[in-house]
Amino acid sequence: MVEAMCQTSILIDRIVLRHIRMRLREEFRTSFGTTTWRDIIIVEMHSENFIGYGESATNSFPGYSYETYETVLLILKKFLIPRVLGKRFNSPHEFRELLEFVRGHPMAKTSLEYAFWDLYAKLLGKPLYELYGGTKAKVPVGVSIGVMDKISQLIDVIQYYLDEGYSRIKLKIAPNHDLDVLSKVRDVFPDINLQVDANAAYDLFKHETVLLKLDDFDLTMIEQPLHYFDLVDHAILKSKLRTPLCLDESISSYHIAKAAIKLGSCDIVNIKPPRVGGIRESLNIYRLCVENGICTWIGGMLETGIGKAHLLHIAALSDIAYPSDISASSRYWKEDIIDPPHKLNPDGTIDVPKRPGIGVDVDLDILLKYQIRSWEFKSHF
């Protein structure tokens, strides 16, 4: 289908990696750590006069996954870029296939695959969502709110985002920062669309009572309560909960998604391309979930406008069932590196960009303000 559409093959003649460091508007605290600064690798892939953009959803510390911006740099420079530079590709499928010789390192692979898809779509003159088979012109989104010490501050922050137009609120929870918080939040906001994300902080044996009490708060879902390797305990917990159980960290690939579905470990899957190794893997997981009656939505990782644009095009798929973690540019950044920035519509959606590729321009002047260092790789042909 998509693969057959490109008549001309794409020669990758130059790749530029840019390490940028950007400060979040506010620190973002989860059960695995606090993020204040984001260290991101921007991939710029050149063919003729076209440029495709990718982004690594990394951090400077391996808290959410084992990857950091430095491991992404290493894997790109030493293994992935030498494989693709100066080569011709007829399709994103063919491109992605060539990255498979590296085991793991999904964020490194995704940053490069993102750039190739953007380049490919720009050469075809089509927006990415069309190539993915997406149908939505705008996608429902929600905001994810980090752990806060003071409940009064959390209530104010929730109110602020509701006033901005977000219609789904996701709260980070952690042991000893859960039932009390939720009961106070529900007192003030009895009817909002509310879900929680534990980032793997609980243990079924230690915390079963607390976990089952989460059923009292009319939550849309509970995301990744238990250890990321523990599909079995998630299946046991799911059988005891009324609230839908969603997996994030656990779903590291298509094969693990298949295992989780067979084991009955989840009702819902949060699809994050950087976590699973890219677009092709995400599309495969999406189809697998649809075929098995598992609902999906698109997760985020504090990306810049480039990464969020890639997420918007995937979130345009017709069967994505819940609001995605794709907030407006102003949620995390005083100044985003894209033009135009992503804006929230009054109905709690964000438009899927319509122009070719990711559909937004990268503002190089702004990007260079945040650049720490760059590396250029040229083909010898």
Q: What is the binding site for ligand OSB (CB under 6 A)?
A: 64, 144, 197, 199, 248, 299-302, 325, 327
The residue from 109, 122, 170, 172 that is catalytic is 172
Residue 226 half-sphere exposure, CB side, CA atoms within 13 Å?
22
Q: How far apart are CA 132 and CA 127, in angstroms?
A: 9
DSSP string, 301-321: -S--HHHHHHHHHHHTSTT--
Question: With respect to Mg ion, which residue has the nearer C-beta, 178 or 197?
Answer: 197
Choose among ligand OSB, Mg ion, none what residue 140 binds, the Cβ cut-off being 5 to 8 Å by kind: none
Choose among Mg ion, ligand OSB, none what residue 65 binds, the Cβ cut-off being 5 to 8 Å by kind: none
Question: Could you say which DSSP state residue 360 is in?
Answer: S
Question: Could you say which DSSP state residue 68 is in?
Answer: -
Q: How far apart are CA 165 and CA 146, in angstroms?
A: 18
Instruction: Provide, rounded to whole angstroms, the least separation between the CB of residue 302 and Mg ion.
Output: 11
Choose among Mg ion, ligand OSB, none what residue 281 binds, the Cβ cut-off being 5 to 8 Å by kind: none
- By beta carbon distance, the residue nearest Mg ion is 248
Question: With respect to Mg ion, which residue has the nearer C-beta, 178 or 223?
Answer: 223
Give the footprint of Mg ion on this chain (CB under 5 A): 197, 223, 248
Residue 196 half-sphere exposure, CB side, CA atoms within 13 Å?
29
Two tokens at 316?
């345009």
Choose among Mg ion, ligand OSB, none what residue 302 binds, the Cβ cut-off being 5 to 8 Å by kind: ligand OSB
Q: How far apart are CA 105 and CA 252, in angstroms?
A: 10
The residue from 122, 170, 272, 308 that is catalytic is 272
Q: Which residue in 190, 299, 185, 306 sits closest to 250, CA to CA?
A: 299
Question: With respect to ligand OSB, which residue has the nearer C-beta, 51 or 143?
Answer: 143
Q: How far apart are CA 161 and CA 175, in angstroms?
A: 25
Choose among ligand OSB, Mg ion, none what residue 329 binds, the Cβ cut-off being 5 to 8 Å by kind: none
Two tokens at 104?
């793991």
Let me know if 122 is a catalytic residue: no
Instruction: Provide, rounded to whole angstroms, the least separation between the CB of residue 203 and Mg ion.
Output: 17
Instruction: Provide, rounded to whole angstroms, the least separation between the CB of residue 140 and ligand OSB.
Output: 14
Q: Which residues of 38-61 are buried (b: 16+ CB within 10 A; e: fewer)?
A: bbbbbbbbbbeebbbbbbbbbbee
Instruction: Provide, rounded to whole angstroms, the least separation between the CB of residue 144 and ligand OSB.
Output: 4
Question: With respect to ligand OSB, which residue has the nearer C-beta, 178 or 197?
Answer: 197
Question: With respect to ligand OSB, which residue has the nearer C-beta, 9 or 34?
Answer: 34
Let me know if 77 is a catalytic residue: no
The pair phi, psi for residue 344, each rounded to 5°, is -85, 130
Instruction: Provide, rounded to whole angstroms, the least separation between the CB of residue 296 and Mg ion.
Output: 13
Question: With respect to ligand OSB, which residue has the nearer C-beta, 64 or 120?
Answer: 64
Choose among ligand OSB, Mg ion, none what residue 300 binds, the Cβ cut-off being 5 to 8 Å by kind: ligand OSB
Instruction: Provide, rounded to whole angstroms, the least separation between the CB of residue 158 and ligand OSB.
Output: 15
Contact 144, 172 (CB under 8 A): yes
- By beta carbon distance, the residue nearest ligand OSB is 300
Q: Which residue matches tokens 């104010």?
A: 156
Sign of the dihedral defined by the CA atoms of residues 87, 101, 280, 195, in that order:
negative
Name the residues annotated as catalytic: 172, 272
